[in-house]
Structure 1
Amino acid sequence: MKNIKLSLILFSFLFSLSFFAGASNPADGKDVKEGYEIGDRLPDIKAKSIAGNDIKLSSLEGKLVLVDFWASWCPPCRAENPRIVNAYNKFKNVNFKNGKGFTIYSFSLDTKQANWKAAIAKDKLNWDYHVSELKGWKSPTSNKFGISSIPSNFLIDGNGIILAKNLRGEKLELILQHYEKK
């Protein structure tokens, strides 16, 4: 019973937070300031995939995207990965209020490509967008985004507008359900 009450309180908080953030944003996402707070347009990222190809976050426009900062050496990140995988599998083909489908843009703070690649395989992170600068905490992107601990993430809509931040546990699925087109 206590878990149900806690879940309801958490959902109410997330709903009110997302409602107020969404209320101030134009539907098309234009004329929104770039930044790192809910309601801002998240700045674009361009980083290398394991294969060495550049992948831009903006190439995923039109989908809800979880921009997930993590690393293979981070126990809390690895513990969170099964929940992220479940959310991805459940919502990847869902239509949302402002996005078609859900995907994940995984930004690794690893320094060794072999460790990064092995963690992706072991944790079954089966989406296509895995990037890194292989510079650990010296990553220009993570520094620009103010990432000081991991796991850390941003959920953005189809226009790149931040809907929520640092979703862990049940919060990710709850917020995705909230934005699901019924």
Structure 2
Amino acid sequence: MKKQLIFGLLFIVAYSCYALCFRSEKSFDSKDFAPEIKLVGTNGKVRKLSDLRGKLVLVDFWASWCGPCRKESPNVVEAYQKYKSQEFKNADGFEVFSVSIDKDASAWKQAIKEDRLSWKNHVMDKDGIASANYGVSSIPSAFLIDGEGHIIASGGELRGIQLHIQIDKQLK
């Protein structure tokens, strides 16, 4: 009886964690502009999402302590390397704008180094402002933004091979 109860509880916890990884409380229409993100980067200087207007941008919410986020990192690195110099329907090039919800800056910077996140747009959302503006209630969570600043894809459709499929749809 105890084994069944423990198994049942573990199943409920595992299912809840899985479900949370693929939901976002806020929904965006394809005509919605991406909310501005203006946060401090790894070098201590402010980075703004709007500075990347004209590029196809993946806004990726993650944390150093998030196992699923770290597991997805090689896929994001591969996409960045593959698409950074490509031309898209309304964008010239591809960028990643990483938004960490870490509270510990050293752990955040160490994870960037360990996972070889070679793009330069890394910011830390330790107060949760950007996460709230995007309706992020769990991580990993991602948003694909076109060259005009519109959110064109989000959530689970930007994980694994689906990320590449969504980016391929935007190629010229």
> Aligned residue for 1:158?
147
> Does structure 1 residue 109 correspond to structure 2 residue 101?
yes
* d(CA) in 2 for partners of 1:171, 1:141: 24
> Based on CA coordinates, which of the two structures has the bigger radius of gyration?
2
- Given that residues 57 and 96 in structure 2 are in contact (C-alpha distance below 8 angstroms), is that contact kept between their aligned partners in structure 1? yes
Q: Which runs of 5+ in 1 are unaligned?
A: 1-34
* d(CA) in 1 for partners of 2:109, 2:29: 31
String of CA shifts for 1:50-82, please: whole Å, max 9, x gaps. Answer: 111000100001000000000000000000000
> Aligned residue for 1:51?
43
Q: Secondary structure at the match of 1:104?
A: strand
> Does structure 1 residue 90 correspond to structure 2 residue 82?
yes
Aligned length: 144
> Does structure 1 residue 141 correspond to structure 2 residue 130?
yes
Percentage of pairs with the same residue: 48
* d(CA) in 2 for partners of 1:36, 1:82: 27
Q: CA RMSD in A?
A: 1.1
* d(CA) in 1 for partners of 2:49, 2:60: 11
Moved over 2 A (4+): 35-39
Indicate the structure whose relative CO is greater, using CA pairs within 8 Å and at least 6 residues apart: 2
User: Structure 2 length normalisation: TM-score?
Assistant: 0.81
* d(CA) in 2 for partners of 1:57, 1:37: 19
> Aligned residue for 2:53?
61
Q: Which runs of 5+ in 2 are unaligned?
A: 1-26
User: Structure 1 length normalisation: TM-score?
Assistant: 0.77
Tell me by how many angstroms 1:36 deviates: 3.2
Q: Secondary structure at the match of 1:68?
A: strand
Tell me by how many angstroms 1:152 deviates: 0.3
Q: Secondary structure at the match of 1:179?
A: coil
